[in-house]
Amino acid sequence: MLSSYSEYLIHKKWMKHALKQAQSAGDAGEVPVGAVIIDSSESIIASCENRKQRDNDPTAHAEILAIREAARRLQTWRLHECTLYVTLEPCPMCAGAIVQARVGLLVYGVDDPKTGAIRTVANIPDSAASNHRLRVIGGILESECRSSLQAWFANRRHRTK
């Protein structure tokens, strides 16, 4: 839940950065998902995109790569003072990593009706298996995030016909 319009504007600003990462992933043939992590002083400490195809790595989701980069830069795996922005609701693997990293706030763009593990299909952060209560805000720049994914998949389907 957003407490103010100014908070919304801050989240919108950072989600635009995540959308740029998503565009870069899509341009490279990856599913267009981008992630950005900021610290408590609102500085970017990680900015990543999906790299699963390019790296031949099933774990190379934007969120996982951003968590790794942030932990490396901060020299701690505890990211409780950080905010993670991601264009698509995280999958079960990413939701688990977000909980394990103790991310302070997750902000995502659009729900994932197939594999969303934050609120849509499953709710890993609020499950009994979670040892961290994650604050979550969904729907920031939802239409832009959805359009990015829909356009990429439509283009992909068109090319395979």
How many CA atoms lie less than 13 Å away from 139 in the CB half-sphere? 6
b/e 28-43 (16+ beta carbons within 10 angstroms → b): eebbbbbbbbbbeeee
Q: What is the DSSP letter of 43?
A: -
Coil vs helix vs strand at 116:
coil
DSSP states along 45-84: EEEEE--HHHHT-TT--HHHHHHHHHHHHHT-S--TT-EE
The encoded tokens of residue 139 equal: 């729907």
Identify whether 30 is a catalytic site residue. Answer: no
CA atoms of 53 and 49, how far apart (whole Å) = 11
Catalytic residue (one of 30, 49, 63, 89) = 63
Where in the sequence numbering do the catalytic residues fall? 63
